[in-house]
């Protein structure tokens, strides 16, 4: 559930709880003539039952002794072990939840808090306890909204901001030091030229990092098929190989392209270029001198498969599961030295998964690496794509 969906669900639950509590309180109010109240009472009871059963999330009716009196269908789907007649502590096995429910019953005050329960692993729930009184006896409605994804998303955002701050601070610190040194009028000319060159490199790396962060944000802002674009991945593979020929020569790596027909994807030119270049560039930079990087493009039923294989150094086993994580580098010092941002494979993963494809890697240290991107073959266009500045420009995304 996204953060927005979580908020909408919470609002719906609050409104429904308000209706239930109002109806229960109404049932415990001043009596009137039986002839007038009987039809209304039946209608209220029916509305109460319907509202309780229709709540979209876990709802538990708690009695005066903190016992579970009733659960709705959503509660049984989320917690199939729930049963009536037991205490909240027995039902959920959580002391915090039990004590907060007991406190709400004793004080008559609403309560809202977050807790973690063991349901298919540890999951985070937003709990709300709304006490009421009916026929002189206290009771409460307990609702639980699964906020695991929303909490994980917030954690991811916080981690991303921290990582971005760190990644920006490193080149900025280096730039500041070199600029301060350049203020020395007695600096030798060769050292000055070296500092200027290194400053330019750090500036370009900062620019590439900002480009990658903005592009990643664009990808996360929308889902689905880009707006009608169609790109031949075989053609893109040949273009990327030509672009990387100079860098490959410097690194002592040979690039080979094996591309078949029918590899048309619903990617914009920029996205297609980004996928192929990020995969090929990683092989060129990290395979090692004397290696061969083979870029293969072909069809596997309804998927276009882009595979980059090298016979180089490979990746340590401990690093393989993390290579698609943002800012993760198996060799941090070498990556920064070569201008990498640590976002290349993460961007590839986002592009492929956005369209219902996938990205995967296999590697063995000393025997090379294979990175594969699978993208659905172009079908009917769907108009849902973020802004695409720089289309076909071959933006330096790593």
The predicted-structure confidence for 374-390, as pLDDT tens digits, reads as follows 999 986 344 344 444 33
Cβ-based neighbours of 183, under 8 Å, separated by 6 or more = none
In tens, the pLDDT along 87-120 reads 999 989 889 999 999 999 999 999 999 888 887 7
pLDDT given for residue 166 in this prediction? 64
Convert the pLDDT of each residue in 324-342 to its tens digit. Answer: 887 776 665 554 555 455 7
Provide the whole-model pTM.
0.51
Q: Which fold has domain 151-376?
A: Heat Shock Protein 90 (3.30.565)
Strand, coil or helix: 279:
helix
If pLDDT is split at 50, 70 and 90, which confidence band does 26 have? very low
Which of 23-27, 48-52, 305-309, 351-355 tops mean pLDDT?
Answer: 305-309
286 CB burial (10 A radius; 0-12, 13-18, 19+)? buried
User: pLDDT: is 135 or 222 the higher one?
Assistant: 135
How many whole angstroms from its chain centre is CA 171? 27
Residue 167 pLDDT: 64
Q: 46 by DSSP, 3-state: which?
A: helix
Residues of the chain with CATH 3.30.565.10: 151-376
Q: What pLDDT sits at residue 254?
A: 93
Looking at the predicted structure, is the pLDDT value of residue 253 above 50?
A: yes
| Helix 269-286 and helix 233-243, axial crossing angle in degrees, nearest 10 | 50
- The answer to whether residue 292 scores a pLDDT higher than 90 is yes
Paired sense of beta strands 58-62 and 68-71, if any: antiparallel
Residues 251-269, mean pLDDT to the nearest whole number: 89
Is the pLDDT assigned to residue 149 strictly greater than 80?
Answer: no
Instruction: Kindly state the helix (H) or strand (E) to which residue 135 belongs, with its residue range.
Output: none
First to last CA, the chain: 30
What are the pLDDT digits (tens) for 180-202?
888 888 888 888 888 888 888 77
Helix (H) or strand (E) holding 394: none
Per-residue pLDDT for 35 more than 60?
A: no
Decide if pLDDT at 134 tops 90: no
CB atoms within 10 A of CB 195: 17
Phi first, then psi: what are they for 141, rounded to 5°?
-105, 120
SS3 call for 160: helix
pLDDT at 387: 40
Q: Is the pLDDT of residue 392 over 50?
A: no
Q: Provide the pLDDT for residue 53.
A: 81
Q: What does the pLDDT read at residue 337?
A: 52
Percent of the chain scoring above 90 in pLDDT: 26
Rounded to whole angstroms, the Cα distance separating 172 from 204 reads 12
Between 42-46, 246-250, 257-261, the lowest mean confidence (pLDDT) is in 42-46
Task: Calculate the average pLDDT of the chain.
Answer: 77
**What's the confidence (pLDDT) of residue 169?**
74
Q: What is the pLDDT of residue 395?
A: 33
Enter the DSSP assignment of 193.
H
Delimit the CATH 3.30.450.20 region(s) of the chain. Answer: 3-146
Architecture of the CATH domain 3-146: 2-Layer Sandwich (3.30)
Distances (CA, A) of 37 to 31, 41, 366, 383: 8, 6, 83, 55
How far is the C-alpha of 322 from the C-alpha of 67, rounded, in Å?
A: 46
């Amino acid at each position: 559930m996204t953060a927005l969906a979580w908020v909408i669900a919470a609002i719906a639950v609050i409104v429904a709880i308000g209706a239930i509590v109002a109806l229960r309180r109404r049932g415990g109010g001043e009596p009137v003539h039986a002839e007038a109240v009987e039809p209304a009472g039946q209608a209220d009871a029916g509305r109460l039952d319907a509202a309780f059963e229709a709540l979209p999330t876990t709802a538990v009716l708690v009695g005066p002794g903190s016992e579970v009196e009733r659960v709705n269908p959503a509660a049984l789907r989320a917690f199939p072990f729930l049963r009536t007649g037991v205490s909240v502590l027995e039902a959920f096995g959580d002391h915090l939840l039990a004590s907060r429910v007991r406190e709400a019953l004793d004080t008559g005050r609403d309560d809202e808090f977050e807790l973690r329960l063991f349901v298919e692993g540890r999951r985070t729930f937003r709990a709300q306890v709304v006490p009421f009184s009916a026929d002189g006896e206290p009771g409460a409605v307990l609702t639980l909204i699964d906020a695991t994804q929303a909490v994980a998303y917030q954690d991811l955002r916080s981690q991303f901001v921290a990582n971005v701050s760190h990644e920006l601070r490193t080149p900025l610190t280096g730039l500041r030091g070199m600029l301060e040194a350049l203020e020395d009028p007695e600096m030798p000319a060769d050292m000055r030229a070296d500092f200027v060159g290194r400053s330019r490199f750090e500036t370009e790396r900062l620019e590439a990092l900002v480009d990658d962060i903005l592009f990643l944000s664009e990808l996360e802002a929308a889902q689905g098929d880009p707006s009608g674009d169609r790109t031949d991945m075989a053609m893109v593979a040949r273009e990327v190989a030509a672009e990387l020929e100079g860098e490959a020569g410097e690194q002592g790596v040979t690039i080979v392209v094996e591309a078949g027909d029918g590899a048309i994807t619903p990617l914009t030119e920029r996205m297609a270029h980004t996928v192929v270049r990020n995969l090929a560039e990683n092989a060129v930079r990290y395979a090692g001198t004397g290696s061969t990087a083979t870029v293969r493009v072909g069809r596997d039923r309804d998927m276009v498969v882009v595979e980059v294989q090298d016979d180089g150094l490979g990746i340590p086993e401990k690093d393989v599961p993390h290579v698609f994580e943002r800012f993760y580098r198996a060799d941090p010092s070498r990556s920064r030295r070569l201008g990498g941002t640590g976002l290349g494979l993460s961007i590839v993963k986002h592009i492929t998964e956005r369209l219902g494809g996938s990205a995967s890697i296999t590697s063995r240290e000393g025997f090379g690496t294979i990175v594969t991107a699978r993208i659905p073959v172009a079908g009917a266009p769907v108009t849902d794509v973020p802004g695409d500045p720089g289309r076909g420009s071959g933006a330096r995304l790593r």
